[in-house]
Chain A
Amino acid sequence: MPFFEAIKLALSQIRVQKLKSFFTLLGVMIGVMFLIAVVSIVEGMSRYMTEEFAGRILGVNQFTLRRSPNMQFGDVSEETWRAWARRPRIYPPEAKQVRDALPSGTHAAIENINFLTAESVFARPRQVMSVGTEPEYFDIKKYRLTSGRAFSEQEVLRGSPVVVIGVDVAEHFFPNLDPLGRELRIVGQPFQVIGVLEKQGSLFGFSLDRFAIAPYTSPIGNHINPRGDIDGLVVQAMDEVVLGDAMEETRGVMRSIRRLQPSDPDNFELETSAGALSFFAQLKGKLVVFGTALPAIGLIVGALVIMNIMLVAVAERTREIGIRKALGARRRDIMRQFLVEAATLSLFGAAIGIVLGAAMAKLIAATTPLPAAVALWSVIAALAVGAGVGIVAGIYPANRAARMDPILALRQE
């Protein structure tokens, strides 16, 4: 029997038994729906990680010279922790030497970060992410100001109490007011607001606009790093080649300052976004595995239901099988008829599941901070899985039908 005939027959079977077909397909439908939804969310997060998180927070073609890694991914042993804690701190003069050695086409800025309490006469005190840094930081982060100005090199040298604030900070501490020239107290120290940054948006539901930027030499420096050391030196290169050169220069300068022997390991860290991305790639793999384990259970249940329904169909249609055999259907004709029926049934369920899964992903993206993107490969995979489930579930019943004795089959009422 030609393939097309078998599909037509399968569709007519679904048509005559709509309700039964629907319940049969529930398992496959739910399985595929969650498969699509989970993959969409993981894909969305992954895209978000590479485009937004890595780009904006960690920066492209950027590295940070640190005492120890700021972000620890995976398991870090007790010993490693202690080794990190034994490393010498990094002080501004070292940062200056590194900066002087950097190739052209790079920007560098000291970056000290801590959450400090800020207050104004207009609002209640609040924790604000406070960054102590240098003017080039604005270039590195591509921060644009909506009003006012950034601070200057002179202000850094003088340790002037001036601050550039994010939109959230401006709105909270200066409601319906122009914050420029007004006073914002950070840990009790008065700072003059000289600029407001463009809105940055949010990441995984956290606002990126709740922060204040001041010279690292200003009074907040004492609160962020009372010892006078720095958290890190952020270096941005114009491209990958310059990035590599800059990292090599930095390593060389640091090792000579620290008088490290060739056999000694670095006692500082050059942190890039590559680490974060590779960690996320690992995490993504795990998410996909665990995220698909659940739908897989749905699919297995779906396969068992389809198998059961097909066994019932074979039993119900024993006489039909007998008639077909008497008229010249070979084993493979009967086999194909039932396999195609099972696969068509299952594909039908998968198609509905894809639509529902995509809708679910959109709903999640719209109502939660989790991003979602329906990946084409997941749709193709879902269709393949749908057909596969049907065929696997159909093999046993179809084989049973194909091996029926035509005489016994014809005798059945």
Chain B
Amino acid sequence: MSDTYSGDTTLGITGEHAISSTAERRAVVTSPGATPSREWVIVTRGLKREYDMGGEVVRALRGVDVAIRRNEYVAIMGPSGSGKSTLMNLIGCLDTPTAGEYWLNGVLVSKMEDDELARVRNKEIGFVFQTFNLLPRATALHNVELPLVYAGIPADERKKRAKEALEAVQLDNRMHHKPNELSGGQRQRVAIARALVNRPSILLADEPTGNLDSATSTEIMKVFESLARSGQTVIMVTHEADIAAHARRVVVLRDGLIASDDRREAFKAQVGLA
């Protein structure tokens, strides 16, 4: 990632982002069983997820069709209970759907076993969480190394790549600090370095600014913006409209179904943001 992303220097430049058209998306989600072409990083068709809560079936997702093309910067938005966390868990391969298809990079992952999903998470997905989820007793460097450990990368190369990833988020002078010796913004940047160190297909962020003050939130959103600009596919789950508005495209969920899926300009107009 360090070759395409070089930090704040690229921020502030405006330009047109890759964004798929509604027609293209409809075409790809309405052909069940067909393998999507490689440009589609994520395609879900009729994705359903039901939970059995003591005899009562809770239908968290009731048939979601989403298609996300490479290099898109998409926000998934919705109030609590809308199913956005469930969708994020499915997209992040932490969970499997009750019904429907999920194609990641042209591979059907919705039918995969536990360990295969672990492999996919390791190779294809970089997670950024609201609560950072860094290992408290490990240094920043070791935290960033972790995905490479599970990828079976030899120690020397691991160290080298982890260092580069931390340099890219301007934390080269904090490598040997533990999480409790870092500020919230620094912790989230460590998490971003960790998410990107294995060069994943998608960066999946779950309320990435939820535990940060507004200044730090802005700083993190700038990092995301810059990553998206450099070609990284970014998917961000949030319940805050102004955070969602940083993305190029906003998918709004309500009651387990997609309520709207449009460019951010349309979304802004809809929710009344300037």
List residues 324-372 of chain A with CB under 8 A from any CB of chain B.
324-333
Chain B residues with CB under 8 Å of A12's CB are 137
Q: Tell me the minimal C-beta distance from B89 to chain A in angstroms.
A: 5
Chain A residues with CB under 8 Å of B119's CB are 328, 330
Q: Is the CB of B150 within 8 A of A1?
A: yes
Chain B residues with CB under 8 Å of A410's CB are 94, 129, 133
A85 is an interface residue with CB less than 8 A from chain B: no
A2-B152 contact, Cβ under 8 Å, with A327-B194, A329-B118? yes
Chain B residues with CB under 8 Å of A325's CB are 94, 118, 121
Chain A residues with CB under 8 Å of B89's CB are 407
The 3 closest A-B pairs by CB, nearest first: A328-B122, A328-B150, A330-B118
A327-B137 contact, Cβ under 8 Å, with A1-B150, A2-B152, A5-B149? no
A406 is an interface residue with CB less than 8 A from chain B: yes
- Could you say which interface size class chain B belongs to? 20 to 34
B147 is an interface residue with CB less than 8 A from chain A: yes
Q: Is the CB of A1 within 8 A of B149?
A: yes
Q: Tell me the minimal C-beta distance from A89 to chain B in angstroms.
A: 83
CA distance A2 to B151 in the complex (A): 10
23 A-B pairs in the complex with CB atoms less than 8 angstroms apart: A1-B150, A2-B152, A320-B135, A324-B146, A325-B94, A325-B121, A326-B92, A326-B94, A326-B127, A327-B121, A327-B122, A327-B127, A327-B150, A328-B118, A328-B119, A328-B147, A329-B118, A330-B118, A331-B118, A333-B118, A410-B94, A410-B129, A410-B133
B123 is an interface residue with CB less than 8 A from chain A: yes
Residue of B94, B115, B135 near A330 (CB, 8 A) is B115
List residues 126-156 of chain B with CB under 8 A from any CB of chain A.
127, 129, 133-135, 137, 146-147, 149-152
Residue of B129, B137, B151 near A16 (CB, 8 A) is B137
Which B residues have a C-beta under 8 Å from some C-beta of A?
89, 92, 94-95, 114-115, 118-119, 121-123, 127, 129, 133-135, 137, 146-147, 149-152, 194, 198
CA distance A326 to B137 in the complex (A): 18
Chain A residues with CB under 8 Å of B127's CB are 326-327
- Could you say which interface size class chain A belongs to? 20 to 34
Q: Tell me the minimal C-beta distance from A20 to chain B in angstroms.
A: 15
CA distance A407 to B86 in the complex (A): 10
List residues 299-335 of chain A with CB under 8 A from any CB of chain B.
319-320, 322-333
Chain B residues with CB under 8 Å of A323's CB are 133-135, 146
A327-B115 contact, Cβ under 8 Å, with A406-B94, A407-B89? no
Q: Tell me the minimal C-beta distance from A399 to chain B in angstroms.
A: 13
Chain A residues with CB under 8 Å of B94's CB are 325-326, 406-407, 410
CB nearest neighbor in A for B136: A320
CA distance A407 to B89 in the complex (A): 7
CA distance A406 to B121 in the complex (A): 11
Q: Tell me the minimal C-beta distance from B206 to chain A in angstroms.
A: 9
Q: Is the CB of A328 within 8 A of B121?
A: yes
CA distance A5 to B137 in the complex (A): 15
List residues 1-16 of chain A with CB under 8 A from any CB of chain B.
1-2, 5, 12, 16
Q: Is the CB of A327 within 8 A of B147?
A: yes
A327-B95 contact, Cβ under 8 Å, with A2-B152, A407-B89? no
List residues 223-247 of chain A with CB under 8 A from any CB of chain B.
none
CA distance A333 to B149 in the complex (A): 10
A328-B133 contact, Cβ under 8 Å, with A407-B89, A407-B94? no
Q: Tell me the minimal C-beta distance from B202 to chain A in angstroms.
A: 14
Chain B residues with CB under 8 Å of A324's CB are 146, 150
CB nearest neighbor in B for A16: B137
CB nearest neighbor in A for B197: A327
CA distance A323 to B147 in the complex (A): 10
Chain A residues with CB under 8 Å of B118's CB are 325, 328-331, 333
Q: Is the CB of B121 within 8 A of A326?
A: yes
Chain B residues with CB under 8 Å of A1's CB are 149-150
Most B CB atoms within 10 A — which of A16, A319, A323?
A323
Q: Is the CB of B133 within 8 A of A329?
A: no
